[in-house]
Chains A and B, each alone.
Chain A
Amino acid sequence: MTTAVDYNDLVALLQKQFGKGFTPATDYVEMPAALIAQVAEYMKNTLRFDFFDMVTAVDYSDHFEIVYRLQSIQNNSLASFKIKCSKNTSVPSLANLWLGANFQEREIYDLFGIEFTGHPNLKRIVLWDGFEGHPLCKDFKGKVYDTAN
């Protein structure tokens, strides 16, 4: 059975390595956006979390939250992270560590407008180049095609 790591233990371990800023919750660890690249590298190489399950973003009007799920196939365990970033800021990309992050980060850029620095090929993926705006943001207005409704 895939078990989630004990988040209190994980926070203690990470605080020893990287200093303050980590907050454990029931299902995830919250951390500052600037540390994500180093923490990810630590999780992959030292703690052997080799499977990058998912990354997605949520728009909470005044800030974005980016949710990561990492799994370890050898130990059958799972660790979840969250970072908060304000609008118009950028976040380090994890595509160079895990290839699986590549398309998912491009999709978040396309639909939310969050930039990932260090991504090898950051451009729109599911929408066309000339599309205006980022549709999954809560303040996206209207459709491309105006009908009576």
Chain B
Amino acid sequence: MTLPTEQFILNIGPLHPSTHGVFRMRVTLDGEIIQDVEPVFGYLHRGLEKLCEKHTYKQNIPLTDRLDYVSAINNNWPYVMAVEQLAGIQVPQRAEYLRVIMGELQRIASHLLAVGSLMNDMGIFYTAFMYMFREREKIIDLLEMVTGQRLLYNYMRFGGVSMDIPTEFLPALASFLKVMPGFLDEYDSMLADNEILLSRTKGIGVLSAEAAINASTSGPMLRGSGVKWDIRKTAPYSVYDKFEFEVPIGSSGDCYDRYRVRMEEMRQSLRIIQQAVVLLPAGNEKQPVPLRLRPAKGETYAQIEAPRGILGCYLVSDGTEKPYRCHFRAPAFINLTVLRNLLIGQKLADAIIIFGSIDLSMGEVDR
């Protein structure tokens, strides 16, 4: 005897108990299996690109911080690089190395938060989250020592960085670099072979390499599917060609692989920071640049490997002191395109895990 059934539309969001931000999914369910997903966002659309046209070039740097607020230093970088390309500003070597050190520290902090939130979604009610926040606080202390801010740093400037590191920064960084691998080992001992984690993430949300490339995913999502595409290696910017590091890739493209890629990337970031500290040259931390910068007329595009993917800035200048058009290629926004294909056919409980493994930051999705 077959039971008559009906499809049921469930609304998840926009205020999640988990920390992914204001995102809404209208899910059509048949029992427990998802038939269709419609993502609805724009609840944090603050009109950043239009505001960029109202302000001068320097006034836009704090605005870019608010794009992906979890990893704020990396958001300044493509904008600053784009303006430097247009205006022909050279960046001193010391500033480049400082940018790399801060950017990689921020990458570790961002991945800690991503993995912590994923564990939270899985039901480890805040335990792993609190452990990872303990390390994130250490990184935030280091960044606060240099920039004075805890979350939205406004650190990069055209032609360098805004201030040089104080004398107590390098010893503090050295002691952090000594203890951090131990903490990463602690997480691996708790989580990597954990039966519940394996059963909830292995084989869930499989994204094949062709589908990932077709959907323009980037970052750990693309690398988890086995595609070795990291802008730091394929199109090196700043001084990344001077460092030795590996690009971890996954094999099957499921949630477990994306989680492993993020954990391994944290170890590689520690390697990069160690090399950068050794190679750090003396010099100026920034080039003097006019206050009201008027770059040459033209357009340019600059991209970096942000923790969530390829973050790019397309900048059009008309020779005045305000940008004519400033567009941000936001990785989280584009990675979200594949959500619908990943969720159809899965159970509702798995949907939350898949969504957590994409690792969104709504400031970037909505801009």
Contact = CB atoms under 8 A, between A and B. Distances in A.
A148 interface: no
B216 A51 contact: yes
Contacts of A58: 316, 324-325
Contacts of B341: 99
Contacts of A50: 213-214
Interface in B225-266: 227, 229, 234-236
A50 to B, nearest CB: 5
B229 A73 contact: yes
B49 A53 contact: no
B26 interface: no
Interface in B341-367: 341, 366-367
A107 B49 CA distance: 12
B329 A53 contact: yes
A126 B366 contact: yes
Nearest to A104: B334
A37 interface: no
Given A56-B314, A102-B337, A103-B334, A73 B329 contact: no
A99 B216 contact: yes
Interface in A96-149: 98-104, 107, 111, 124-128, 135-136, 140
B337 A100 contact: yes
Contacts of B17: none
A126 to B, nearest CB: 4
B129 interface: no
B301 interface: yes
A101 B47 CA distance: 21
Contact of A125 (B41, B49, B310, B327): B41
Per DSSP, chain B at the interface is mixed
A56 B326 CA distance: 10
A111 B326 CA distance: 13
Interface residues of B, number: 35
B42 A125 contact: yes
A84 interface: no
Interface residues of A, number: 32
A53 B337 contact: no
Contact of A54 (B50, B234, B314, B337): B314
Contacts of B42: 124-128
Given A126-B366, A135-B50, A1 B214 contact: no
B338 interface: yes
B176 interface: no
Interface string A15-32: 000000000000100000
Max chain B CB contacts within 10 Å: which of A2, A51, A127? A51
Contacts, number: 76
Contacts of A128: 42
Given A73-B213, A103-B334, A56 B327 contact: yes
Contacts of A140: 50
Interface in A50-109: 50-54, 56, 58-59, 67, 69, 73, 76, 98-104, 107
Nearest to A138: B53
A51 B213 contact: yes
Contact of B235 (A1, A59, A102, A136): A1
Nearest to A143: B47
Contacts of B234: 1-2, 76
Contacts of A2: 234-235
A85 B320 CA distance: 25
Q: Which of A59, A98, A140 has the most CB of B within 10 A?
A: A98
Nearest to B241: A1
B178 interface: no
Nearest to A26: B298
A1 B336 CA distance: 27
B50 A136 contact: yes
Identify which of A98, A103, A135 gathers the most chain B CB atoms within 10 Å of its CB: A103
B69 interface: no
10 contacts: A51-B213, A54-B301, A54-B314, A56-B329, A99-B211, A99-B341, A100-B334, A111-B49, A124-B42, A126-B42
Interface of B: 41-42, 45, 47, 49-50, 211, 213-217, 227, 229, 234-236, 299, 301, 310, 312, 314, 316, 324-325, 327, 329, 333-334, 336-338, 341, 366-367
Given A51-B216, A104-B334, A136-B49, 8 more contacts: A27-B299, A51-B213, A67-B314, A99-B216, A99-B337, A111-B49, A135-B47, A140-B50
